[in-house]
Amino acid sequence: MEFGYFAQMFVPAHEQAIIPGYEQQRLLENLELSVMCEQFGFKYVWASEHHFLREYSHMPTPEVFLSFVAARTQRIRIASAIVNITAPVNHPVRTAERVAMLDNLSNGRFELGTGRGSSSTEVYGFGIPHVDDTRDLWEESIRQLPRMWGDDIYEYKGNSFSVPPREILPRVVTKPHPPLWVACGNPATFEKAGRLGLGVLCFTIGAPSELKKLIDVYKEAVSKCTDPVGDFINDNVMCVTHLTCLEDRDEAFELNTRIGMRYYQSLCYRWLDSFPKPEGVPDWPDVMPEPTLAELKEQVDMGIIAVGNPDDCAGVAQQYADAGADQLVVSPMTTTMPFATAVESMRLFGEKVIPRFDTDPKYRSDYMRENLVR
């Protein structure tokens, strides 16, 4: 199992109100931690694309953020989770061009995670009449992107966009093209991702034992994929969890009772109305109370969050591995934990936990790409 870091750019309003320049500080801290991840042994840095979602994510252009990460690293993969590839938000030609630029400048280290937007606030902000329309918009784009990278002259007349005969430049250096992923949240989308031969960005909330049911749906579908939308099948599942890994497990648990974990979750349900809101989650501006020590320990036992000492965190990682995850991505900065603590947590996790699971320097997506199925 491989490991990554998720830069989502959470900017809590109560901190921004009292700290001058806080929004930029958070952005630069996310950048610094992303760069450090290479020396800590992580294989990926993922960055989201969100628009208009105050506090939850101030990251509208992952390609800009990731270009800075690429410029300051040598090996770590940079990846989007996601780029919204629907034509009203990002014209597919512009997406193809940006991917090719990142692919060239990073020397083949960029991977394209795609999606269609996660909230009505975003969708309607770009003039899309209905959230359901984004399904067809996304599928039209994902089927055309590989053609844009592969055809000498690209031409297309479609429903949401059309392109006269044109050369789309530069060419990608990763052959046949960078790996493709898609955000998934329910059994139907996991099955569709497998059928299309795409890697899965698993954004479903729950314990690994519950996620396993969805991963199994995907693995069954991808094993039968004979006509992927790209030029190869990217059989890959990425899952996301929170991380606090410290030598003193009591300190790690106590810290997580007061760093806004549930505040961030409340923001998720405030903005991402494509997620079903569980019973007991209050309507915004009311927020969920922060977890007690007992609740935190229960969540660690279930594998929902990785909190505690390295052995605790390794136990959680093992649950994801047992569920069939190919990559586990951690996101400590979706809290207000001190930056120095986030750095130490990532360093310790990289030193003590990652080597127990990832002993192969090669990337799984490269194995997928080298074993072309078309």
Average pLDDT value over all residues in the chain: 97
pLDDT at 194 over 50: yes
Report helix, strand or coil for 238: strand
**Cis omega (within 30 of 0) for bond into 228:** no
| Residue 231 confidence (pLDDT) | 96
Tens-digit pLDDT profile for residues 346-363: 999 999 999 999 999 999
pLDDT at 300 over 60: yes
How many domains are there within the chain? 1
- The Cα 304–Cα 278 span in angstroms is 16
CATH number of the CATH domain containing 251: 3.20.20.30
Report helix, strand or coil for 204: coil
> What tokens were used for 33?
């931690």
Tens-digit pLDDT profile for residues 76-117: 999 999 999 999 999 999 999 999 999 999 999 999 999 999
| Residue 373 confidence (pLDDT) | 52
Residue 69 per-residue DSSP state: H
| Residue 374 confidence (pLDDT) | 43
Which residues constitute the domain of residue 51?
2-370
Percent of the chain with pLDDT over 90: 95
Which of 247, 352, 329 minimizes the C-alpha distance to 4? 329
Cα–Cα distances in angstroms (integers) from residue 155 to residues 147, 151, 314, in the given order: 9, 9, 50
In DSSP notation, 84-120 reads: E--TTTS-HHHHHHHHHHHHHHTTS-EEEEEE--S-H
Which of 83, 80, 26 minimizes the C-alpha distance to 55? 26
- The Cα 248–Cα 254 span in angstroms is 10
- Single pTM value for the model: 0.97
pLDDT at 16 over 80: yes
Span 235-264, average pLDDT: 98
**Cis omega (within 30 of 0) for bond into 153:** no
Which of 364, 369, 374, 6 minimizes the C-alpha distance to 183? 6
Span 133-161, average pLDDT: 96
Which of 335, 317, 336 minimizes the C-alpha distance to 325? 317
Greatest alpha-carbon pair distance for the chain in Å reads 63
